Structure 1
Amino acid sequence: MGTACEDVPLKPTIQDLKVKLHHSTLLFPTQKTQKKCCFLSNVDQNFNFYVATLHFFSANPNFPPETVAKRLKTAVEKVLVPYDFAAGTVQRNHQSGCLEIDCDAAGAGFVVASSEVSLDEIGDLVYPHQGYNQLAIQNLDNWEPNNDRQPLCIFQVTSFKCGGFSLSLSTNHLLFDGMGARTFLENVASQAFENKPLAIIPCNDRHLLTARSPPHVAFPHPELLPAKNIQALNCVKEELESKIFKLTSNQINYLKDKAKSNDGKKAAMTTTKITSFNAVAALIWRCKALSVDTEKDRISTLLCAVDIRSRLNPPLPPSYCGNAVLNAYASSKCLELEVAPFSELVGMVSNGTERVTDEYIRSTLDWIEINKGVPNGEYFISSWWRLGFEEVVYPWGKPIYSFPLMNQNKYICFLLPPDADDVIVNVLVTLPAKEMERFQSLFRGFFQY
């Protein structure tokens, strides 16, 4: 018998990080920037909310936290020249009715804080909890007297009593997707060095994802729901619990081996791309769908975020700043997910991602132009697994761990980077207690070999 994957409930010993805010200010570009409006694509339009990433650093005697804060402040002011939209404000275009960014050099936020605890007291950093919200301020009280407008981008540097510190980046998602945010931080890191050029020249031409005129929807798009069909939901408050499922290289290889077989027979889907992501996503989908106590004829739809930069013809520049992510989908009856060979589930996930071609992307952009819709699925997998935030090199070194700051949401599963040599990916699942019990049993049981 093999060893089941490790699953750990998120119950950190410290809930209050005892953070004290020392200083908050607005930072402005070091040079005068052009007053203009930044067009936002149809993909951008659905991302008018704030997200944050959190990055922890070990103590560095050559770079105490106060020095880090000074270096970062100067670096941010420099990058706000090529990233002028990050210092702007969101407004609605009166003619089109769409959101856009006024590049008015209104400023980016910068906060300096300290915590009374050490990194060792926090424990394993992979387990996000409510205390982390103190490390990523998402609004500045001194921004406007009525506090209606907030900076689209806020940095916070928080020192710990051990000499280590955290850096958070809180942005309106209209500015960047995950890849864009990583590139932005690479450029901030480069400017924190002395006399170093930008790491990457950013591309903010969002017209590259403009819908066609006239629009031409060439495919069905069940992964999207038209705005006219959206109804107000009576959200039922539920007690949710979160767990991390740590997958090792042996377990990833086991999933791939299962995906290559058809219960001992040759797999029917010989064209299936058996990647680590597809295998992990298929297992998560099966466990989530079967954890809900409903009829087996129910259709379960999985959504997976796909970076479309390299899928377009011609491809988008890798340094494209805006949101270049669409949802691939896979749908099946719960009964089929329960009895079908694992190879078929992986095949459905693989087919979903392979479906996202240049023509499909153009069709999606045109569909949104017509319908102004939103994602439509039962479960969404958001992968921060290989975005590379932990590889960004600052003068004081690389982060010891980086991850998105997340609120509990039973509809989203996060794939987080490894935190140890024997771990390949951390799977963060949040569900009501009964569903979590079923999910855990199914997840564990799959590795009983």
Structure 2
Amino acid sequence: MANQISVCPLMVGKRTTEFIKPSNQPHYETLSLSTLDNDPRNEIMYCTIYVYDAERNAARIHHHDDHPESLLKDALSNLLVHYYPLSGKLNRRKRDGKLQLRCNGAEGVPFTVATSNLDLSSLGYLENVGFDTASLLLPQIDDENYDREIGYYPLALQITKFPCGGFTIGTALTHAVCDGFGVARFISSLMELAAGKSEPTVVPTWERDLLVGIPDDRPVEIPGADKACRLAVSHYMPTKDMISEAVNVKPEDIKRLKEDLLRESDFSGQILTTFEVLGAYIWRSRIRALKLNPDGIVVLGLAVAIRRAVDPPLPDGYYGNACMDMHVELTAREVDETPISEIVKLVKEAKIKAHDKEYIAEQLRNTEKLTRMGEQFEGRRDGLFFLTDWRNIGWFGSMDFGWGEPVNLLPVVPPDRAADLGMLLGPCKLDQKMVGGVKVVMTLPRDAMPKFKEEMEALDKIGET
């Protein structure tokens, strides 16, 4: 486990932001979004930083005629012909709580070029930088316009150049318009065009009406509301002293954990995925670290893709939200004392349920009603934990547009929003020992983090007699 690095302060000089518009075919329309897009829980920004290291590709870069920002600007302008909604503005109507995207042909995507005073190596290639440092490498989001009729930009980019010759690409893309799959598809298409293709391999399609729920007369169900007073709590929370850290899980530890679970229980020939086994183990580790009260309810949330489960299946170019939020509920004592293999079985059951067509239809109906009524869960969230997997959402093809593949990828989530969120990522490519391993990013109260790392380090001893 690498601790957050300590270096002299990063200083980033930002130039005037340019607005990149579609290269042709301006659109003038107002677009509606799906029921899942409209869910208020999805109105957050996906912020990600891609790290490109000059030293690994010095010869190629030396002979490259174009600057990365020039290629990316041209590629973005051409790509927005297909993804034109991302060049509009998004706002939520007061009368019914629904989002709408306004495309008037005059807007564009904010694109900032910046410079850094430090080399990437002195920042550890962003392997474990803090939120404040990472934020300097992201485009600034105009939060002031979120509640105004004028709306806000659903997409923004920033390229930051470093003295070493490397650079980062920081993206901010609202979850209300794209899920993880959609973000990956967009970024992949951007890299394709920057590398020289004239059109993206998969042409995007809007078609948000394919996932719109039809309300009925049944009472609305607010997820978690019936358990609010019984949710587990931690004496560490609430607190403003939250920290985010990355824990590397070696491939051999994952292999041993799976083998141990197969010895522990009969899975009837089912494949154990890394997400399932690590997710169960991480959930238990978090509960122990927070010292949640044993009889309180704890909830593990996971997003399950339904692109092929709906009828008809969503087209390949669909880039909106297409996941069901599923939950596994137990008491903190049950998670602590139940064999990990049994928790894995509950995760598998939740994934299967998410593909039931009747269940999907019911959840769409309920979410539609929740949005119109403006109802949301309120209460302490200590016992709630949502785990998301960024390894397999589909980084389609190469991200090399002339400077090699990025050596690292860093999602950036504000500590207050990350308090009940865990992420599984691919490891930094500069660490050859971690090929096939997983990087776990977790945000916890500072005093609880040592116990969490202790639990994760215990993976080394799995299977020992």
Q: TM-score, normalised by structure 1?
A: 0.86
Which AA in structure 2 matches 1:433?
R
CA offset digits 1:379-435 (Å, max 9, x no partner):
111221223548423233322222312222321111111113332110112211332
1:317–1:15: structure 2 CA closer, same or farther, 3 Å change rule? farther
Say whether residues 1:249 and 2:251 are aligned partners.
Answer: yes
Greater Cα offset, 389-398 or 293-302 = 389-398
Q: Distance in 1 between matches of 2:149 and 2:214?
A: 38
Q: Distance in 1 between matches of 2:20 and 2:269?
A: 52
Q: Distance in 1 between matches of 2:385 and 2:169?
A: 30
1:316–1:14: structure 2 CA closer, same or farther, 3 Å change rule? farther
Q: Between the two proteins, what is the percent identity of the paired residues?
A: 24
- Where do 1:203-282 residues align within 5 Å? 203-212=205-214, 214=216, 225=225, 236-262=238-264, 267-270=265-268, 273-282=271-280
Say whether residues 1:412 and 2:413 are aligned partners.
Answer: no
| Paired residue secondary structure (1:288) | helix
1:16–1:147: structure 2 CA closer, same or farther, 3 Å change rule? farther
Q: Distance in 2 between matches of 1:439 and 1:53?
A: 25
Which AA in structure 1 matches 2:262?
K
Which AA in structure 1 matches 2:366?
W
Q: Contact 1:186 / 1:393 at 8 angstroms: preserved in 2?
A: no
Give the superposed CA RMSD: 3.0
1:368–1:254: structure 2 CA closer, same or farther, 3 Å change rule? same
Alpha-carbon offset, residue 224 of structure 1: 5.5
1:195–1:19: structure 2 CA closer, same or farther, 3 Å change rule? same
Residue aligning to 1:114: 115
| Paired residue secondary structure (1:8) | coil
Q: TM-score, normalised by structure 2?
A: 0.83
Residue aligning to 1:35: 28
Q: Distance in 1 between matches of 2:393 and 2:165?
A: 27
Greater Cα offset, 424-433 or 364-373 = 364-373
Residue aligning to 2:17: 24
CA offset digits 1:118-155 (Å, max 9, x no partner):
111111432242212111122379x9xx9975422111
Which ranges in structure 1 are unaligned for 5 or more consecutive residues? 1-6, 230-234
Alpha-carbon offset, residue 378 of structure 1: 0.8
1:315–1:399: structure 2 CA closer, same or farther, 3 Å change rule? same
Q: Contact 2:257 / 2:277 at 8 angstroms: preserved in 1?
A: yes
- Where do 1:192-203 residues align within 5 Å? 192-194=194-196, 196-203=198-205
Residue aligning to 2:333: 335
Which ranges in structure 2 are unaligned for 5 or more consecutive residues? 55-60, 230-236
Q: Distance in 2 between matches of 1:57 and 1:442?
A: 33
Q: Distance in 1 between matches of 2:34 and 2:63?
A: 43
Aligned residues: 427
- Where do 1:62-211 residues align within 5 Å? 62-63=63-64, 67-93=67-93, 96-105=96-105, 106-129=107-130, 130-139=132-141, 149-194=151-196, 196-211=198-213
| Paired residue secondary structure (1:114) | strand
Q: Distance in 2 between matches of 1:288 and 1:360?
A: 29
Greater Cα offset, 28-37 or 202-211 = 28-37
Q: Contact 1:274 / 1:350 at 8 angstroms: preserved in 2?
A: no
Q: Distance in 2 between matches of 1:88 and 1:416?
A: 31
| Paired residue secondary structure (2:102) | strand
Q: Distance in 2 between matches of 1:100 and 1:171?
A: 16
Q: Distance in 1 between matches of 2:90 and 2:295?
A: 44
Alpha-carbon offset, residue 312 of structure 1: 2.2
Say whether residues 1:55 and 2:56 are aligned partners.
Answer: no
Say whether residues 1:303 and 2:296 are aligned partners.
Answer: no
1:79–1:294: structure 2 CA closer, same or farther, 3 Å change rule? closer
Q: Distance in 2 between matches of 1:442 and 1:221?
A: 36
Q: Distance in 2 between matches of 1:359 and 1:119?
A: 50
Q: Contact 1:302 / 1:379 at 8 angstroms: preserved in 2?
A: yes
Residue aligning to 2:233: none
Residue aligning to 1:232: none
Alpha-carbon offset, residue 206 of structure 1: 0.8
Q: Contact 1:215 / 1:370 at 8 angstroms: preserved in 2?
A: no
1:366–1:447: structure 2 CA closer, same or farther, 3 Å change rule? same
Q: Contact 2:185 / 2:394 at 8 angstroms: preserved in 1?
A: no
1:95–1:131: structure 2 CA closer, same or farther, 3 Å change rule? closer
Q: Contact 1:216 / 1:363 at 8 angstroms: preserved in 2?
A: no
- Where do 1:289-328 residues align within 5 Å? 289-328=287-326
Which AA in structure 2 matches 1:340?
T
